[in-house]
Copies of this chain bind each other. A is one copy, B any other.
Amino acid sequence: MSDYQPRIQDMQFVLSNVLGAPDQLKALPAFDEVDADLMQQVLEEAGKFVGEVVAPLNRDGDEIGAHWQDGKVTMPPGFQSAYQMFWQAGWPALSAAPEDGGQGLPSVLEIMLYEMLSAANHGWTMAPGLLHGAYECIKHYASPSLQETYLSKVGTGEWLATMCLTEPHAGSDLGLSRTKATPQADGRYALNGTKIFISGGEHDLTDNIVHLVLARLPDAPPGPKGLSLFLVPKFYPNGERSAVHCDRIEEKMGLHGSPTCVMRFDDALAEIIGEPGKGLNAMFVMMNAARLHVAMQGIGLLDAAWQKADAYARERRQMRAPAGQEVKPKSAAEADFIIEHPAIQRILNTQRAWVDGGRVLAYQTAVELDRIKHADKDTAAQSQRWCALVTPVMKAAFTHQAFHGGSDCLQVLGGHGYVREWGIEQIVRDARVAMIYEGTNEIQAIDLVVRKIMADGGQSLNQLLDDMKAQSQIETAEATQLRKLTQSIVSAAPQDPSLGHRVADDYLRAMALVMLQWAWLRIDATLNAQTPELKSRWQAPSKAFRQWVLPEFAMRSHIIETQCQAA
């Protein structure tokens, strides 16, 4: 079965026809030279690179994987040369600032690039995926001399970067971290400790690797406020090797193309980034962008699984399908294509509904990220609200869907789906990790409900729904019900301190469905102007969304109401 291939036309339709993103962006002075043609050209080139260079390496990435020996990590065949082509062609720096060697293009192009890359080869994509956060972190917090050495190297992707956060006893709870930073006479710090789950902690893709490390100064208080951020490269500018060691890589369920490293810091000399005790602030500044990247992995992987299931369903014949409401003449073959069976149609159209609706939300979120950077203050505040509320929903809902909906796509292939040669079981295994990293999906839900929705008594949620109503020109019954649910939670919470935590997962799902409904209203509104063929392409998932996906909203609503009444 052939590798994933980007379908630029579908992505373009969402970007331009549904969202009018080129015009939205043109309104920002930073992008006054960006137009629809330029964006299309970039996407087509990106699609070509992904389809021709990155996608064919996916299978070896899984089956051969990354290998550790004596502290060194060898990447799977072809990974290094593909990465060298990738950064030299300027892809990692697509949306980086021109003064740092970047192209200064809109974030949405970067986000669409990463959707395609993740769909094609999740393991390979982990490597460049991490440099964007590191670039922003260095750009906003590092001293001028550190920037001089590292900013453009990381911004262009010539050097890759890591985020060294997790420790064996401190997974989601970074405040428990124990890695120590001891000040040295020369103003540097000696790092000592062990970090685990470090993606790309060691590899042979680039000449150097830049590690950003959370550690604790000697006089630091316990908990998250005692953490500072440090930078230590694999090789210092003078060529000397640092005392950062990769002790082993993990054996994982999937994602074998990305080495997950145990990193030991053994008096590793590092420089501080930003102020002491403000380490987490520097990390959190890039959190929305990083979470959106993970959401794109979800959308991309689900699309990749869908492509395989759709292709299989169009060539495999099994049994007779029941006559549809329009009775059609049966083929002379012994059996019908399985795409004619209602159970298969339901799976394919439902997952299509998630991918297409997800694109609307994700691409719009990327536009909002650019508005935060480049628009006037009021617009930026509105965009900040969108990103704060929508990003955790996207991260959790689409990584969930990539795994569970990806499994549904696997089901279309029957026994062949369970066998490696068809490639779809790899997608399901690879996708599973995205529900865990960058904050587990349960933590996304608590972030949304407890830290954001409840923190301002539901005010920003109501404003978000107002903004959405202004754009779709309608408020659905579900959106109105979400307002009511929010009010119920806010009212009942003071008597019941765990209420927010108990309803968090259901609330996030309910909100995801309201967002997806809005996305499909936006798509539906563009269809009248389209050809019959294009209409039927988009109407099938639209109907599937209403029939099979949206009914979950009432269930979530019922669960939340019951919990509020029990408060």
Contact = CB atoms under 8 A, between A and B. Distances in A.
A381 interface: no
Interface in A481-496: 496
A324 B415 contact: no
Given A418-B436, A498-B324, A173 B547 contact: no
Contacts of A417: 436
Contact of A419 (B252, B429, B500): B252
Interface string A409-435: 011001111111100010011001101
Contacts of A554: 554-555, 558
B342 A498 contact: yes
Given A173-B318, A551-B555, A415 B253 contact: no
A559 B341 CA distance: 18
Contacts of A432: 407, 410, 418, 425, 428
A28 to B, nearest CB: 38
Contact of A547 (B253, B344, B425, B559): B559
A319 B425 contact: no
9 contacts: A250-B419, A253-B420, A322-B497, A324-B497, A327-B497, A341-B501, A411-B441, A411-B442, A547-B562
Nearest to A250: B419
A19 B318 CA distance: 41
Contact of A501 (B169, B254, B342, B414): B342
A398 interface: no
Contacts of A170: 318
B346 A505 contact: yes
Given A319-B173, A323-B498, A251 B403 contact: no
Interface of A: 166, 169-173, 175-176, 196-197, 222, 250-254, 260, 317-319, 321-325, 327, 334-335, 341-344, 346, 403-404, 407, 410-411, 414-421, 425, 428-429, 432-433, 435-437, 440-442, 445-446, 496-498, 500-502, 504-505, 547-548, 551-552, 554-555, 558-559, 562-563
Contacts of A322: 497-498, 500-501
A419 B169 CA distance: 15
A268 B305 CA distance: 40
Q: How many copies does the complex hold?
A: 2
Nearest to A426: B253
Contact of A251 (B250, B420, B433, B562): B420
B419 A335 contact: no
A319 B172 contact: yes
Contacts of A442: 341, 343-344, 411
Given A343-B501, A343-B504, 12 more contacts: A175-B334, A251-B420, A252-B418, A253-B418, A254-B418, A342-B498, A346-B505, A403-B407, A418-B433, A548-B559, A551-B555, A551-B559
A563 B551 CA distance: 12
Nearest to A335: B173
A325 B498 contact: yes
Contacts of A319: 172-173, 175
Nearest to A556: B551
Contact of A415 (B171, B222, B335, B416): B171
